[in-house]
Chains A and B, each alone.
Chain A
């Protein structure tokens, strides 16, 4: 993200944009209802980007975003718009539509005074429409409802407008019907932004105060923080302090995002832009942090609740020799994705690795994809372990069901909140995603630690011809033992090659066998013909097998390839 500085610095005099000429807004919607396309049109119409056919989801910069057609990271763009003879500065923040990334949405919202709530004119209100509406509503932002894709045959704007009126209590006349793809009525959107969204209630005469709502790490320039200025002004050379850590920095560069960086001399209250101030670590520009001038300390702005991880996975390098490389890749990626929780972990089979927490399954997949694409790392992803405490004395174990309902409360005539006590093991892998999928995305989920509870847990062994495979010992609830054991045996059967003797694959609890698979012995394994032309081919094959042998693990007399462990331990999704 490099920009040429020289010519741009002269043209941008932000003092011409007092707060009343500024509008801060974001676009929120359910996935695929057209946020990014509308963002493209707005950028084109205000001259931020040239109008060409090639503008497709311009704000989606990450490779993974472009490939999957989704927005992962919220990007910001400042637009200049002339309306009725006046120049306005419109700050647009694009947001992810996927449920996993709601966290990004609420952060963006905190820097805005209004939102464009996009609804597909055929699909109508969907899960994320509702979720995002509530986020905006609770933050008391102005909501401008926009019906998109009116150009499509199945569009039924009247019906959707009724829906919006009924569900959100927004008058149908407030709705603007557009086609972001064709640009139809997009001009009306810009006008609505100017007319209906209030300017930020801030003043440049107040002491400088800015909220950090995002940050990126750039290898050459350090931390680049996205800020919304809530008061005062800041310029290059100023000494600023971060409220969270109390550290002082000197401002090296500030500017607008259009969406590329455009450095300016100053930033004023109400404006949104970026700041580079010699911070080396993204932890120094904590999301939700407040920045102020050294000489003028201020009260910190309300920050953010840290995002809660919903889906967990174990990640291990293919080979322990790749550990440092993977560690560094994970570190660099989490620099720019602070909603991933990271904890060191280790597995007998796979060596040293991590237990990572994600906002959802998509978040995890995107993370993996970015690891592979941007950092060339190849990773084994496992179902994670959860911490257990073993009681050594023979205390009484309380039999309990896997989940116990604690509470049920009706919030309004549309929503109910239920409280359950769950063993962590039951939710770490896929509970969140299943919940979302079963409720078509409408259900939301949060959890807190309820401490350790006694449970009917047992240790399950996996045996190969009677010998325990240490790496595959599992702690499992008694009720789950059979299914888990059977699944592990089946996976092993498919991953261990046949040998000169039969192999019994068993799952056992103590001395009791609870599941079994058999790998038959070879009765004949010799090439029928081996003459002149066959020799080379046969040698290649045998040499390859000999090489493979080197990497095998010997359990008793059974040779087990590394892949077998991976196949048993890896996540089973899709």
Chain B
């Protein structure tokens, strides 16, 4: 198969371990006004069953992927900090029973900064969590109300402090900008307040109005207004500058780190690595070698917890959808995800997925891309392809042109692979 070079060492034939695992705890106590994720209100006494099923599905999918070690584990959802620390421990134990889970593996838990969450932090760390991602969203109490959050800014600050005590240098803070009634000035002030207390990692997300959320409706009906587009753009730019001035390196569109404290888990997404998604609504991308599969699949687990539980009990996993990714689709994901990183896509990285055509050959020839290079939005040099500081802000305006070019180039040349015994085969690069 054409992509076996991705996971099978051509010399030793060993399957490498570039896999990370995402677990979804889909329960929240309430729904924030801007949220459109897959989440549910927890039922009583469900926790035990959930834990069992998470373990079971973890086993099944690890087996299916035939990976030998896991480099990072991420507990998301929902509100994973609602789960019992013993759940976390049980799952980590299941993982390490089956594959290698080195001590250096990053184990992240998303935390909702309520007093209850705070009281469990130490136990979570004892259970094996070594990185905490705190959903602060805002340091203004008024805004927390509008966003439908269930904590105060003071409580959030306390959680940040506690988290840093437990995992120094490994705490991340999530903040949202573009909130109703926010101004550039108030945002700048908030940022400086944040910088006084945060650790070495910050994620800044522009508030996005998603259809079907309460906030969307409120804005539509004119009850609530969000800042104008230009203002949002200004907030983003000033945040980038401010964080840079404070020693943070922006390594992705919304992610900033000091002292190299990047999120390895998230980097794996952007670098096109395989990952296994466990739990209701979780997503995964891996090759089901255990089933004789040779193509990477995009997988989604069943959304509704009750149905998912039933399926896991029946057949060991609750995979609702799996789509094979053809060569072009895989490259497209590598492109779209990779360009979100400030380091972009370097030549070696691209070569892992496209051994036959390098970045220059794919992108260096059209006038569209040439113009973007000319204008300084894109950079294509001996390191690789990436956005400039100005280009990153307009990435989604540039991606369609890049995708079009990728499609044209790939479909013109059928891909060939040389397997270990030297025979050539033509790959299946036909996508719909």
Contacts and interface: CB of A to CB of B under 8 A. Distances in A.
Interface of A: 499-500, 522-533, 535-536, 538-539, 542-543, 545-546, 548-550, 557
Interface string B374-394: 000100000000000000111
Given A542-B400, A549-B400, A532 B392 contact: no
Given A524-B236, A557-B371, A546 B393 contact: no
A524 B229 contact: yes
Given A526-B395, A549-B400, A532 B230 contact: no
A549 B397 contact: no
Interface in B61-111: none
B232 A546 contact: no
B426 interface: no
Nearest to B231: A523
Nearest to B37: A533
A538 B208 CA distance: 14
B144 interface: no
Interface string B239-253: 000000000000001
Contact of A535 (B22, B333, B399, B403): B333
A527 B38 CA distance: 19
B283 A528 contact: no
B397 A525 contact: yes
A501 to B, nearest CB: 9
Given A532-B282, A543-B332, A527 B253 contact: yes
Interface in B24-38: 37-38
Interface string B344-374: 0000000000000000000000000001000
B403 A542 contact: yes
A530 B335 CA distance: 13
Contacts of B232: 524
Given A532-B22, A532-B283, A527 B396 contact: yes
Contacts, number: 98
Contacts of B409: none
Contacts of B184: none
* Top-10 shortest CB links A-B: A523-B233, A524-B233, A532-B283, A545-B400, A546-B403, A546-B400, A526-B395, A528-B206, A528-B205, A546-B404
B252 to A, nearest CB: 9
Contacts of B395: 525-526
Nearest to B329: A539
10 contacts: A523-B230, A524-B229, A525-B394, A525-B396, A525-B397, A529-B254, A530-B336, A535-B298, A536-B300, A549-B400
A546 B407 contact: yes
| Residue with the greatest number of chain B CB neighbours at <10 A, chosen from A523, A526, A546, A548 | A526
Contacts of B270: 530
B404 A542 contact: no
Given A523-B230, A524-B229, A532 B269 contact: yes
Given A539-B336, A542-B336, A550-B404, A526 B396 contact: yes
A530 B282 contact: no
A548 B404 CA distance: 10
A550 B269 CA distance: 29
B275 A532 contact: yes
B281 interface: yes
Contacts of A526: 253, 340, 392-396
Interface in B230-281: 230, 232-234, 236, 253-254, 266, 269-270, 275, 277, 281
| Residue with the greatest number of chain A CB neighbours at <10 A, chosen from B205, B340, B399 | B399
B401 interface: yes
Given A549-B400, A557-B371, A531 B253 contact: no
Contacts of B282: 532-533
A528 B232 CA distance: 12
A546 B232 CA distance: 26
A525 B340 contact: no
B337 interface: yes
A523 B254 contact: no
A334 to B, nearest CB: 41
Given A525-B396, A550-B404, 13 more contacts: A500-B377, A500-B397, A523-B234, A525-B397, A526-B396, A528-B206, A528-B208, A530-B340, A533-B38, A533-B300, A536-B283, A538-B336, A549-B404
Contacts of A527: 208, 253, 396
Interface of B: 22, 37-38, 205-206, 208, 229-230, 232-234, 236, 253-254, 266, 269-270, 275, 277, 281-284, 298, 300, 329, 332-333, 336-337, 340, 371, 377, 392-401, 403-404, 407
B87 to A, nearest CB: 20
A531 B283 CA distance: 9
A531 B282 CA distance: 11
Contacts of A535: 269, 283, 298, 333, 336-337
A448 B105 CA distance: 89
Contacts of B277: 532
B341 to A, nearest CB: 11
Nearest to A531: B269
B154 to A, nearest CB: 26
A282 to B, nearest CB: 46
Nearest to B176: A528
Nearest to B323: A536
A532 B263 CA distance: 14
| Residue with the greatest number of chain B CB neighbours at <10 A, chosen from A524, A525, A548 | A524
Contacts of A500: 377, 394, 397-398
Contacts of A525: 393-397
B332 A539 contact: yes
A151 B400 CA distance: 66
Contacts of B407: 546
B205 A542 contact: no
B401 A528 contact: no
| Residue with the greatest number of chain A CB neighbours at <10 A, chosen from B270, B277, B393 | B393
Nearest to A542: B399
B332 A523 contact: no
Contacts of A528: 205-206, 208, 253-254
A42 B275 CA distance: 77
| Residue with the greatest number of chain B CB neighbours at <10 A, chosen from A523, A538, A550 | A523
A519 to B, nearest CB: 13
A549 B397 CA distance: 11
B399 A533 contact: no
Contacts of A536: 283, 298, 300
B57 to A, nearest CB: 15
A23 B234 CA distance: 84
A347 to B, nearest CB: 27
Contacts of B393: 523-526
Contacts of B233: 523-524
B281 A533 contact: yes
A546 B407 CA distance: 10
A258 B385 CA distance: 78
A530 B283 CA distance: 12
A545 B230 CA distance: 23
Contacts of B333: 535, 539
Contacts of B22: 532
Contacts of A523: 229-230, 233-234, 393
Contacts of A549: 400-401, 404
A542 B400 CA distance: 6
B39 to A, nearest CB: 12
A543 to B, nearest CB: 7
A530 B337 contact: yes
A557 B397 CA distance: 14
| Residue with the greatest number of chain A CB neighbours at <10 A, chosen from B284, B329, B397, B404 | B397
Given A525-B396, A528-B205, A533 B283 contact: yes
A524 B401 CA distance: 17
Contacts of B403: 542-543, 546
B391 to A, nearest CB: 9
A264 B115 CA distance: 96
Nearest to A544: B400
B253 A499 contact: no
